[in-house]
């Protein structure tokens, strides 16, 4: 983000890929989202921050269509890649078997992009290892690769770097910037103050409402 909290021009360029208008979501009587508005444009890297329990994961699940909002509207401009906070892996399947499963689900002719991403994360030699025997950080790398391998126009990533060492963390941000520079839209939930500089725009969720910028301490 630019100094002074200004949103750089980049974040307001490009066609809208995701538009949320007045989105509301409650669990029973607990209202978590209370009129969220957001537009994510092509070629932007957008951060969502907020305290524990503020509703960030709920918001992302609504963005990708996993949860239906109680009110308001969500419009998506194409396919979505979603990396949930909890990994979606089957412990008995190898990395290669996961790639094949998702290749078929995404109807891709091959898993070349997935292998390229695995190589970027230094896991290309682990293809025959079962997910259940991978380290937490490597499981998370696979989780992320499965969300990115079909190169969707919109990526929604919920703290995608949990368990990553510093070098891998840096690699993740290089990759996120490269995707943004290719015109993809990337939404990332982050808890880490030192991540904020990577975003074109940051929004914070508090009291069920999303506001631009970071909250005053
Ligand atoms: N399936 C559910 N049923 C009932 N309450 C839920 C459910 N999922 C989340 N909640 C509640 O909704 C609120 C928001 O949860 P959510 O996971 O969206 O927050 P978060 O900002 O992602 O939190 P964190 O930073 O801890 O990951 C919390 O009070 C949580 O307990």
57 lines ligand 1 (CB under 6 A): yes
Pair 43, 183: CB distance under 8 Å = yes
Q: What's the 79 CA to ligand 1 centre distance in angstroms?
A: 25
Please report the pLDDT score of residue 192 as a whole number. 76
Q: Which helix (H) or strand (E) holds 94?
A: none
Pair 190, 159: CB distance under 8 Å = yes
63 lines ligand 1 (CB under 6 A): no
Q: What's the 104 CA to ligand 1 centre distance in angstroms?
A: 32
Distance, in Å, from the CA atom of 51 to the CA atom of 205, rounded to the nearest integer, reads: 8
54 lines ligand 1 (CB under 6 A): yes
Q: What's the 54 CA to ligand 1 centre distance in angstroms?
A: 7
Please report the pLDDT score of residue 14 as a whole number. 86
Other C-beta atoms lying within 10 Å of the C-beta of residue 191: 12
Please report the pLDDT score of residue 87 as a whole number. 82
Kindly report the protein residue whose alpha carbon is nearest to atom 4 of ligand 1.
Answer: 27
Q: What is the pLDDT along the chain (217 residues), one digit of tens a residue?
A: 444 444 444 545 689 999 999 999 999 999 999 999 999 999 999 999 999 999 999 999 999 999 999 999 999 988 999 999 888 899 999 999 999 999 999 999 999 999 999 999 999 899 999 999 999 999 999 999 999 999 999 999 999 988 899 999 999 999 999 999 999 999 999 877 778 899 999 999 999 999 998 876 6
Pair 111, 49: CB distance under 8 Å = no
32 lines ligand 1 (CB under 6 A): yes
CA proximity to 85, closest of 11, 139, 129: 139
pTM: 0.91
Q: What's the 186 CA to ligand 1 centre distance in angstroms?
A: 22
Residue 76 phi, psi (nearest 5): -115, 140
56 lines ligand 1 (CB under 6 A): yes
Mapped onto helix, strand or coil, the DSSP state of residue 169 is: helix
Atom of ligand 1 nearest to the CA of 28: 4
Within 8 A by CB and 6+ apart from 27, the residues are none
**What is the ipTM for the molecules in this complex?**
0.97
Please report the pLDDT score of residue 217 as a whole number. 62
């Amino acid at each position: 983000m630019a100094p002074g909290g200004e949103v750089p021009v980049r974040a307001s360029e490009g066609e809208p890929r995701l538009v949320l208008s007045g989105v509301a979501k409650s669990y029973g009587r607990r209202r978590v989202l209370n009129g969220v508005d957001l537009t994510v444009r092509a070629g932007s890297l957008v951060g969502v921050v907020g305290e524990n329990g503020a509703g960030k994961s709920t918001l992302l699940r609504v963005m990708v269509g996993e949860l239906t909002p109680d009110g308001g509207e969500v419009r998506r401009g194409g396919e979505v890649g979603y990396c949930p906070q909890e990994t979606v892996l089957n412990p008995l399947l190898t990395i290669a078997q996961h790639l094949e499963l998702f290749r078929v689900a995404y109807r891709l002719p091959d898993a070349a992009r997935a292998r390229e991403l695995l190589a970027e994360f230094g896991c290309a030699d682990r293809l025959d290892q079962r997910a259940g025997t991978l380290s937490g950080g490597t499981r998370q790398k696979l989780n992320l690769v499965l969300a990115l391998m079909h190169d969707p126009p919109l990526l929604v990533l919920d703290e995608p770097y949990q368990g990553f060492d510093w070098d891998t963390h840096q690699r993740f941000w290089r990759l996120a910037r490269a995707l943004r520079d290719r015109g993809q839209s990337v939404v990332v939930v982050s808890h880490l103050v030192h991540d904020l500089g990577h975003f074109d725009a940051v929004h914070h969720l508090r009291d069920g409402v999303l506001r631009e910028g970071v909250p005053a301490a």
